[in-house]
A = this chain, B = another copy of it.
Amino acid sequence: MKAGSLAQLGEKGLLRHLTSRWPTRGGILSTGVGDDCAVLRVAGRDLLFKTDIVVENAHFDHRTPPRLIGRKALARALSDIAAMGGTPLAAVVTLGIPVGESPRRLAAIYRGLESVARQHGVALVGGETTRAAQLFLNIALLGECRDSAPVLRSGARAGDLIYVTGRLGGTQARHHLIFTLRLAEGRWLARNRCATAMMDLSDGLGADLPRLAEASSLGFALDPEAIPRRRGATLTAAINDGEDYELLFTVPPARAAWLKKKWPFATPLHCMGIMRKGPSTALAHGFDHFKQRRGRPGVRGTVGA
């Protein structure tokens, strides 16, 4: 391998580098690393498989109410199931515990986890604890797609319209801990064949939309004015804050009127642009854990739909 620092590689570059030689297995349909969940074909079912972690001082800190730490840990993984149009089944939890950590805090974290699990029908089936230098909570989640194929990031076609649920930005204060899951919306979109490609917005529209476009081998044109913002959020915030956990998806133009008419949820729905061949419009780059912000930008081009 080439020598290089983590900052140079970036999170995406590191993952691509590390996983480039990963073995696959006969009889298992894998989407490969990079979609919201892995897809496994087992006994004629499409199972979804996901691992996700929250780490103290990266995803929460000592001021975060413990129940919300547990809530966030599971909800993040559930959001990835939503983004495939899936239904969650079961989770196993790995808990890293620093010396001197309070059992009372840990219990409250687990109460938060249980509450989200109950709400969304997730069986908590296994736990593992280990001593660690900092508190962390890893969730491995199993789900499935029933009555629909999993919606991948790679299914968008040129001409498809770009939609988002909810409103973006202004997520730092508390939203990232208490965001509403879009599981029902994701399932509805998948079952009604409204979404050709879908993902959840975890790193921000500015980082995530280019990923969906790249997975679909397309560019996009986005109307910045059409990006729905949370109350008080600037356009920059709506593009860059991240942790929106809204669904970003593409809709065939022939389905757009039907979608608008039949959408059964109170959740807002906004069309922001269109997928196209060729270069994309510019968006400031979203949050990437390892990428130096002043490094080469991830997206180039000119703003405007």
Interface residues of A (CB under 8 A from B): 1, 3-6, 9, 11, 14-15, 17-19, 21-25, 28, 30-33, 37-38, 40, 42-45, 47, 49-53, 55, 58, 89-90, 92-97, 99, 101, 103-104, 106-107, 110-111, 114, 117-118, 121-134, 136, 138, 140, 142, 144, 289-290
Contact = CB atoms under 8 A, between A and B. Distances in A.
23 contacts: A1-B104, A3-B103, A5-B103, A9-B103, A11-B129, A18-B107, A21-B111, A23-B118, A24-B124, A28-B90, A30-B123, A40-B125, A42-B42, A42-B45, A42-B144, A43-B43, A43-B45, A49-B125, A50-B126, A58-B130, A130-B136, A132-B133, A140-B140
A55 B131 CA distance: 8
Given A15-B129, A25-B121, A49-B142, 20 more contacts: A1-B103, A5-B103, A6-B99, A6-B101, A18-B95, A23-B114, A23-B124, A24-B123, A25-B89, A28-B90, A31-B125, A33-B127, A42-B42, A50-B126, A51-B93, A53-B138, A131-B289, A134-B134, A138-B140, A140-B140
A138 B94 contact: yes
B3 A89 contact: no
Residue with the highest number of chain B CB atoms closer than 10 Å, among A103, A114, A131:
A103
Nearest to A95: B18
Contacts of A124: 19, 22-24
**Main DSSP-derived SS at the A contact region:** mixed
A123 B51 contact: no
B33 A123 contact: no
Given A6-B101, A30-B125, A132 B38 contact: no
A246 to B, nearest CB: 20
B22 A117 contact: yes
Contact of A49 (B25, B30, B97, B126): B126
Contacts of A110: 18-19, 21
A117 to B, nearest CB: 5
Nearest to A123: B25
Nearest to A13: B103
Nearest to A39: B125
Contacts of A136: 96, 130, 132
A124 B133 CA distance: 27
Given A126-B33, A131-B58, A140-B140, A21 B114 contact: yes
Nearest to A32: B125
Contacts of A129: 11, 14-15, 289-290
Contacts of A101: 6
A91 to B, nearest CB: 9
A96 B55 contact: yes
Contacts of A17: 103, 107
